[in-house]
Amino acid sequence: MTTVEMLIQTIINGILLGGIYACFGIGLSLLWGVMRVGNFAHGAIAFIGTYLFYGLLTSFGIDPILSMLLPIPLFLVIGVILYRLILNPVYIRVRPEDFEMSAMLSTFGLALAIESILSLKWGTDILTIPSSSLKYLRGTSITFGPIFITSQGLLSLSLAVSSMVLLHLFLTKTYLGLAIRAVSQNREMARALGANIQNIWLLATGIACILASMAGIAMSLTYAFYPQGYIIWNIKAFIVVTLGGLGSMVGMFLGGLILGISENLAMTLLPSFFSSFFPHINVLPLGFRDVTALLIFLIILLIRPQGLLGRGS
C-alpha cells in the first residue's frame, strides 16, 4: 500500500466514522435547540439501542433490519419517560435561569442509571455484533485495488444519512416539524400562535431518543461497545454539534466528517512523526484519538466560537 493509498483509506474510514458522529449529534442538537437541554444521557440512550439490537440479533436471531426497527416504539416510550419523569418536573420546579444546568445534571444521573442497568443485563465485557448474525446484510467489502470499504461501514453511514434526511423532511414538510422549529426560534411567539409547548417538547424528546437508538445501532455495526463506552460518544456528539454550529444540520454533518477524518489522519500520521523524534515510540496509545478530537475542538472554538456554519448566539 502506497502512502497515497493509505491516506485515501484513512480518509474513507474517517468519513464513515464522521457519519456515526453526526448521527449521534442530530438527536442531541434537536433537544438542545428546542428545549435547551444538553442531554448527557443521549449516548446512554443510544447504547440501549445498541444492546437491544445486539440482544435481538444474538439471543433471538431476529432479522437484522427488523432488529433495527422493532425497538423504535420503545424509544418513543423512553422519550416520554425522559420528558415526564425528568425534564418536565425539572422545568416546573427550578427557576428558568437554572433550567439548563439542572436539566443537564439530571440527564447525567439518568446516564449513570442506564449504564448500571446495561451492565446488570449484559455485563461489562467489550462486545461486538457478530457479523454472522447480520445475515444478508453482511456482504463483502467493496474494494478498489488495495482500498476497501466494509459493507458494515457503508451500512452505518447510510443509517446515519437516512436518519438525517428523514429528520430534515419531518422538520420542513410537516406542521409539527414547523412547530418544532418555531419553538426553538421563539418559544413565546410559537405559543401565542397556538403551539402547545409541552407537547412539542414531548415530541422532540421522543424523536431525539429514536435518533439516539439509530446512532447506537450505526455505531455497533463497526465498533465494539461496553456499558461505559457511551461517555466518549456522548462527548464526541457534543463536539460535533458545537463544531457544526447549533441549528445547522449540514454544519453538523461537516463537523462529524472533520472530526472523523482528522482523528483517523492523526492516528495514521502521528506515529511516524513521533518516531522521528523519539525512536523508541512506534505505536501511539489509542487515547490519542480523543486527544486529537479535543484539540481540534479547542482550535475551532478559538477561531469560530459560533461553530463552522453557526448562526451566532
Partner 1 sequence: MLNVHEINVFYGQFQALWNVSLDVQKGEIVALIGSNGAGKTTTLKTIMKILTPRSGYIEFEGERLDNVPPHLIVEKGISYVPQGRGLFPYMSVLDNLKMGAYTQHARKKLEENLEHVFSLFPVLKERKKQLAGTLSGGEQQMLSIGRALMSNPKLLLLDEPSEGLAPIIVQKLFEVIIRLNKEEGVTILLVEQNVHRTLEIADRAYCLEAGRVRLSGRCSDLIENELVKKVYMGI
Q: Which residues bind partner 1 (CB under 8 A)?
A: 175, 178-179, 181-182, 185-186, 188-197, 247, 311
**Amino acid identity, position 115:** E
DSSP state of 149: E
B/e letters for 4-17, b = 16+ CB within 10 Å, e = fewer, are eeeebbbbbbbbbb
Q: 168 vs 191, which CB is nearer to partner 1? A: 191
Q: What is the spatial distance between Cα 273 and Cα 258, in angstroms, rounded to a whole number? A: 21
Task: Identify whether the C-beta of residue 296 lies closer than 8 Å to the C-beta of residue 258.
Answer: yes
Q: What is the spatial distance between Cα 289 and Cα 223, in angstroms, rounded to a whole number? A: 14
Q: 183 vs 266, which CB is nearer to partner 1? A: 183
Q: What is the spatial distance between Cα 284 and Cα 175, in angstroms, rounded to a whole number? A: 51
Task: Identify whether the C-beta of residue 308 lies closer than 8 Å to the C-beta of residue 244.
Answer: yes
Residue 158 sits at φ, ψ, to 5 deg, of -70, -30
Q: 69 vs 193, which CB is nearer to partner 1? A: 193
C-alpha cell of 217?
A: 445501532
Q: 134 vs 204, which CB is nearer to partner 1? A: 204
Residue 181 parent element (H or E): helix 175-185
* Least spacing, CB of residue 186 vs partner 1, in Å: 6
* Least spacing, CB of residue 205 vs partner 1, in Å: 18
Q: 186 vs 306, which CB is nearer to partner 1? A: 186
Q: 33 vs 43, which CB is nearer to partner 1? A: 33
* Least spacing, CB of residue 95 vs partner 1, in Å: 11
Q: 96 vs 279, which CB is nearer to partner 1? A: 96
Residue 147 parent element (H or E): strand 147-149
* Least spacing, CB of residue 86 vs partner 1, in Å: 23
Q: Specify the length of the chain in residues.
A: 313
Q: What is the spatial distance between Cα 229 and Cα 44, in angstroms, rounded to a whole number? A: 9
Among 177, 179, 197, 239, residue whose Cα is nearest residue 42: 239
* Least spacing, CB of residue 178 vs partner 1, in Å: 6
Q: 95 vs 280, which CB is nearer to partner 1? A: 95
Task: Identify whether the C-beta of residue 34 lies closer than 8 Å to the C-beta of residue 200.
Answer: yes
* Least spacing, CB of residue 291 vs partner 1, in Å: 35
* Least spacing, CB of residue 201 vs partner 1, in Å: 12
* Least spacing, CB of residue 101 vs partner 1, in Å: 21
